[in-house]
């Protein structure tokens, strides 16, 4: 199988290399187009007004100055590879991309862009261990061993999202998405700086430098059962089929239908 790898941690990341090595050992042909530097939490952002620079660093291996979604789009539309890949895998990400994480994730954004361009795709992530390392080998082995099962489930409407806990119990579960409560806080990095914009030193405004203080694990804030979050908390590898097109909110959509019909008739 011809597999295009990308990620949001950058082309030199350990997770990407571990997955590439494992897939090569399994007999797959591996291509790489990954960001030139880390682009975590870039979601599905794309570069529309600046040039994209794609640089070769190996045989069928490139790094891209843009976002993870750019990597897939420009690799595909720019035809930098000899043929169309059979599959795109985004990862292995350094950290989970579960439940509402997928709204922010550049890893999932790249897989989503692949599906939108008509390519089968998966996103793969894993959690950090207590010693600071990641279970990349276990994650890569899981992907290789289950590729034949998950590949047929991917299409232009669906990506497969895999998350591996720090210490997996050797089993996997399917899991649905849930709402997570994040405890990251915005803190002031330094005191306000007064800025002056004209020679008469009339005060125009002030600026303040803020930074995100993270490091606190999220918790599930809804009562949904059978979620990917719950699966990894129990030591299972979670596997989720994510629809590319977000569903409409049925109750509100029904109300909009009613209101629009009234408007047409009125």
What digits encode the pLDDT tens for the residues 65-91?
Answer: 999 999 999 998 888 999 999 999 999
Q: Can you say whether the dihedral through the CA atoms of 15, 16, 22, 26 is positive or negative?
A: positive
What would the mean pLDDT of 239-248 be, rounded to a whole number? 95
In this structure, the answer to whether residues 126 and 208 fall within a common structural domain is: no
What would the mean pLDDT of 123-132 be, rounded to a whole number? 96
In a domain, 209, yes or no: yes
Q: Residues of the chain with pLDDT > 90: what percent?
A: 80
In a domain, 264, yes or no: no
In this structure, the answer to whether residues 107 and 141 fall within a common structural domain is: yes
In this structure, the answer to whether residues 205 and 102 fall within a common structural domain is: no
Please give the distance of CA 148 from its chain centroid, rounded to a whole number: 22
In this structure, the answer to whether residues 227 and 209 fall within a common structural domain is: no
In this structure, the answer to whether residues 105 and 204 fall within a common structural domain is: no
Q: Is the pLDDT of residue 131 over 70?
A: yes
In a domain, 40, yes or no: yes
| pLDDT tier, 149 (very low <50, low <70, confident <90, very high otherwise) | very high
In this structure, the answer to whether residues 203 and 230 fall within a common structural domain is: no
89-115 pLDDT, tens digit per residue, is: 999 999 999 999 999 999 999 999 999
pLDDT at 209: 73
pLDDT at 252: 97
Q: Which domain holds residue 127?
A: 2-177+222-251
Cβ–Cβ under 8 Å, residues 31 and 3: yes
Q: Is the pLDDT of residue 192 over 60?
A: no
In a domain, 13, yes or no: yes
CATH of the domain at 120: 3.40.1210.10
| pLDDT tier, 216 (very low <50, low <70, confident <90, very high otherwise) | confident
Q: Is the pLDDT of residue 229 over 90?
A: yes
In this structure, the answer to whether residues 156 and 191 fall within a common structural domain is: no
Q: Is the pLDDT of residue 195 over 90?
A: no
pLDDT at 5: 98
Phi, psi (degrees; rounded to nearest 5) at 257? -60, -45
In this structure, the answer to whether residues 87 and 190 fall within a common structural domain is: no
In a domain, 256, yes or no: no
pLDDT at 257: 94
In a domain, 261, yes or no: no
In this structure, the answer to whether residues 27 and 146 fall within a common structural domain is: yes
pTM, rounded to two decimals: 0.90
Q: Can you say whether the dihedral through the CA atoms of 156, 158, 164, 165 is positive or negative?
A: positive
Q: Is the pLDDT of residue 37 over 90?
A: yes
In a domain, 258, yes or no: no
In this structure, the answer to whether residues 97 and 198 fall within a common structural domain is: no
In a domain, 266, yes or no: no
In this structure, the answer to whether residues 130 and 206 fall within a common structural domain is: no
Which token pair is 27?
């007999």
Q: Is the pLDDT of residue 249 over 60?
A: yes
Phi, psi (degrees; rounded to nearest 5) at 35? -60, 150
In this structure, the answer to whether residues 158 and 130 fall within a common structural domain is: yes
Which token pair is 249?
């909110």
Structural domains counted in the chain: 2
CA separation for the pair 168, 145 (Å, rounded):
15
Q: Is the pLDDT of residue 38 over 60?
A: yes
């Amino acid at each position: 199988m011809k597999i295009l790898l990308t990620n949001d941690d950058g082309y030199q990341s350990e997770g990407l290399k571990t997955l590439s090595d494992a897939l090569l050992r399994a007999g797959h042909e591996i291509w790489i187009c990954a960001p030139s530097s880390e682009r975590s939490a870039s979601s599905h952002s794309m570069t529309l007004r600046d040039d994209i620079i794609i640089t070769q660093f190996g045989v069928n291996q490139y790094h891209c100055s843009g976002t993870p979604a750019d990597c897939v789009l420009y690799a595909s539309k720019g035809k930098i590879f000899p043929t169309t890949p059979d599959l795109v895998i985004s990862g292995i990400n350094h950290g989970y991309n579960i439940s509402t994480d997928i709204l922010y994730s550049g890893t999932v954004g790249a897989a989503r862009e692949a599906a939108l361009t008509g390519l089968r795709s998966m996103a793969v992530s894993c959690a950090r261990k207590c010693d600071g390392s990641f279970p990349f080998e276990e994650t890569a082995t899981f992907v290789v061993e289950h590729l034949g099962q998950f590949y047929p489930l991917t299409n232009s409407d669906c990506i497969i999202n895999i998350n591996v806990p720090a210490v997996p119990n050797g089993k996997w579960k399917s899991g649905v998405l849930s709402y997570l409560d994040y405890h990251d806080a915005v803190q002031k990095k330094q005191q306000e700086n007064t800025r002056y914009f004209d020679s008469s030193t009339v005060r125009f405004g002030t600026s303040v430098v803020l930074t995100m203080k993270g490091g606190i694990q999220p918790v599930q804030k809804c009562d949904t059962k059978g979620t990917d979050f719950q699966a990894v908390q129990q030591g299972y590898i979670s596997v989720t089929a994510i629809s590319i097109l977000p569903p409409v909110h049925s109750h509100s959509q029904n109300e909009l239908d009613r209101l629009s019909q009234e408007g047409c008739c009125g």
